[in-house]
Amino acid sequence: MGNLLVTGGAGFVGSALVRQLIGETDWTVVNVDSLTYAGSLESLEGLRNHSRHVFERVDVRDFGELKRLFRDYRPDSVLHLAAETHVDRSIADPAPFIETNVVGTANLLGAALAYWNMLDSRAQSRFRLLHVSTDEVYGDLGADDPPFSETTPCAPNSPYAASKAAADHLVRAWHRTYGLPVLITRCCNNYGPWQVPEKLIPLMVANAVSGSSLPVYGTGANVREWVHVDDHCRALRRVLEAGRPGRIYNVGGQAELTNLAIVEAICAILDRQLPRAKGSYAEFVQFVADRPGHDRRYAVDDARIRDELGWQHLEQFDVALEETVQWYLAHPQWLEPAARLKVASYAGER
């Protein structure tokens, strides 16, 4: 095994991926992250001095630094996870999403292509660049629509989703025009430990235990599909290992639930694990004005990754959600930033 370059490796999904790669493979991981509000070295506990983990505080918007990373570490492959990801933030200020998700991806592609062109034919044939995208690029579904497939046209509805769709198109173009061996994954909503406390599940836990309201957009009827972050990371590793260059792979968890059902499930878990003196945490649910352009439903058909690559999700949602809530209860310091986010006006979902 050689070197893997992972961008966004101090974020929620990125750190889970880095922990897996260090714990379960022989790869050396060059972890590239700019440590914005969404990145934290806390999520890399025990790895900061590991011999196969190298951390570089670099922003993907810095083309010169990206070229240096390729020159210094000569990675065998790249997993690109660095991105701005929160829809509410993209609605409030789209600029950082365009700068990081679009310009940053273009920078990475440019640096990767220059590096790839310098490799010998054997190294070129092994090299892969895996771009991690989202099911939100497809738009949304009606209640009775079939799930998104990899051939569903992109129809993004938020600045975040549009920026990720733009990045996807750039990645595809670098493959078709220059021959760069790329892969794209589009995953549904993730859950698990170490998620930024403004996202739905940790936000609801943080608000509930502090006695604050649990804000739910509209009627809470919007549907999302969920997969555990560890299953997602196993999918990324499998696509990197055996995926066909130029192809897109959807990653799902076969757990479709309304936002309200998720919040109610969290409340039920908290009622068991940390019961209130009187009443249920569900009493804190508060319906708030809906998000502009709020997508109704996401669901993906992940038959391609299952049939072609043999991947399947391992975590069962009910069990893993309970374990996730328990993790947040055991790590109250991780939830403290939620108090500074002033989140009463939105519902924390992706």
| Number of neighbours of residue 137 by Cβ within 10 angstroms | 26
274-312: b or e for each residue (b if 16 or more CB lie within 10 Å)? eeeeeeebeebbeeeeebeebbebbbbbbebbbeebebe
**Paired tokens of 300:** 């993906």
End-to-end CA distance of the chain: 35
Which among 112, 91, 130 is positioned nearest to 13, based on CA atoms?
130
**Paired tokens of 170:** 């750039």
| Catalytic (active site) residue 65 | no
Which among 183, 197, 168, 169 is positioned nearest to 86, based on CA atoms?
197
| Catalytic (active site) residue 88 | no
DSSP per-residue letters across 89-153? HHHH--HHHIIIIIIHHHHHHHHHHHHHHHS-HHHHHH-EEEEEEEGGGG----TTSPPB-TTSP
**Paired tokens of 256:** 């479709």
Catalytic option among 33, 76, 88, 136: 136
Q: Is 331 helix (H, G, I), strand (E, B) or coil?
A: coil
| Catalytic (active site) residue 160 | yes
Catalytic option among 115, 138, 160, 298: 160
Q: Is 40 helix (H, G, I), strand (E, B) or coil?
A: coil
Catalytic option among 135, 140, 225, 315: 135
Residues with a known catalytic role: 135-136, 160
